[in-house]
Chain A
């Protein structure tokens, strides 16, 4: 317990200083409410069970909220599901299974605007990080804005928002091969 306390404290401060680009500064944006029955997220690659999830199916997973600050310092509550829970559902090696060669796996996130970013599997896993990344479908209790939603990655431990990517569509898991 003596060791754990400072970690908890530091993660609390990390949360405080995290920045997510401003959503309140949008001009003329409308929330996206139209995607409940469409496939909104696909999981592929090194998975036992490829998934194609509707928003309803995604929301059937345990819901979590995290609060992060935007670059103007205003806090926002993002609500969604742990990336780890989605990956586990697809049979990706998570938790206890995330060891050995599985640590050379990465997750490629692809978004509707063509943007792609990479995470290591360990960065998304509760056995490695304190504050778990989520796939958010709500901001401050409302659906995400159309130009950022319906889904957005939220990386609570990143100092820059660049990996909290908008309009997330697919996560594909791969072994790094060199």
Chain B
């Protein structure tokens, strides 16, 4: 019985200590929240099938967050980013065309056609160097060109920032994404890059086939074999597979190739950047994901349809010193006695495979659509 006062005292002592700890920690919390004017943005994972692999880098100072992506999506569809408030990124990068458009050369804010075909924005997470000639490294840096370019959106960052500052709808999103409402060049680049990294297309029929939930038709199966070059096929013996340059399941590898379109170059391609003869007419090999949606084709949009593209690889490869060594054989180059054309069946099979790469979910995905429309 004599123990109970001791127990009471010890309970009191522990209670006091506990209260003190709670008080101190709540003060510490209060101090923290005064430092940070907004809660930390929420990191979101970029999800994709394992067969895409992880050969990519996201800058350490620009992790992908829910808030950053939401802001980036607004900016992507924001016409105030152009000098005359007439075009946004989405004017040329339209979702229904896998974030490309249907023109050979898109028109800038001033109505001037671009010098090269608008590239589709698909699976950019795996792209290291941007544009047809790979001149810019990283999405954050890529964004500057179309925003500022005289014949694209034609507006300085100072101009863009001034316009966005007058729009109340941007205060909260900038604060949520970056901690305070300041609008800076760095933050505009980062938010747009975050949004564009989420544009992942991985639910085409071909993905469903790879994941075992779709049974290809005989023609599609033949196309897969031709594209990836099954060594048992006759065609493999006379031609390299398309996937030699167009990669594995992603149908993308970062390569620059001269694919025999010309021998005299209106557009020097990568040579314009490097000054090297061997880079003449060399362009970045594009992903074929959603290729059926992104006509016209090539850097200058010269081919209107996929059958025209297949005809090129079948019969019109022009020899030149810079021609890709993988296309430079007597069987492939046009006009040689040894030349071998694709058969009608092979063309149909390849076309069937290319159509398998269309991801209708990607072009209807609400997460990528115009936020100003869906709000209405």
> Which residues of A pack against B, CB within 8 Å?
21-22, 25-30, 32, 34, 112-115, 145-149, 166-167
Contact = CB atoms under 8 A, between A and B. Distances in A.
Interface stretch (B178-186, B307-315, B325-333): B325-333
Contact of B319 (A21, A27, A32, A112): A27
Given A27-B329, A27-B330, A113 B322 contact: no
A71 to B, nearest CB: 10
Interface string B325-363: 100111001001000000000000000000000000000
- Interface majority SS (helix, strand, loop, mixed), chain A: loop
Contacts of B254: 114
Contacts of A166: 325
B329 A147 contact: no
B323 A147 contact: yes
Nearest to A29: B321
B134 interface: yes
B324 interface: yes
Interface of B: 129, 134, 253-258, 274, 276-279, 282, 284, 319-325, 328-330, 333, 336
A115 B255 contact: yes
A113 B329 contact: no
Contacts of B253: 114
B267 to A, nearest CB: 18
Contact of A112 (B129, B278, B329, B330): B278
Nearest to B338: A25
A27 B328 contact: yes
Nearest to A32: B278
- Interface majority SS (helix, strand, loop, mixed), chain B: loop
27 contacts: A21-B325, A25-B329, A26-B325, A27-B323, A27-B328, A27-B329, A27-B330, A27-B333, A28-B320, A29-B321, A29-B323, A32-B277, A32-B278, A112-B256, A112-B276, A113-B255, A113-B256, A113-B257, A113-B282, A114-B134, A114-B256, A145-B325, A147-B278, A147-B324, A147-B328, A148-B325, A166-B325
Contacts of B323: 27-29, 147
Given A113-B255, A114-B254, A26 B134 contact: no
A4 to B, nearest CB: 36
A30 B321 contact: yes
| Residue of B278, B319, B321, B323 with most partner-chain A CB within 10 A | B278
Given A29-B321, A113-B257, A147-B324, 13 more contacts: A25-B328, A25-B329, A25-B330, A26-B328, A28-B321, A30-B321, A112-B276, A113-B324, A114-B253, A146-B277, A147-B278, A147-B321, A148-B325
Contacts of A22: 329
A147 B328 CA distance: 10
A151 B295 CA distance: 37
B5 to A, nearest CB: 61
Nearest to A26: B328
A149 B320 CA distance: 15
B197 to A, nearest CB: 21
3 closest A-B pairs by CB = A28-B319, A27-B319, A114-B255
Contacts of B319: 27-28
A22 B278 CA distance: 19
Contacts of B276: 112
B325 A147 contact: yes
A145 B330 CA distance: 16
Nearest to B284: A114
Contacts of B284: 114
Contacts of A114: 129, 134, 253-256, 284
Nearest to B334: A27
Nearest to A22: B329
B256 A167 contact: no
A112 B279 contact: yes
B336 A27 contact: yes
B132 to A, nearest CB: 13
A28 B325 CA distance: 11
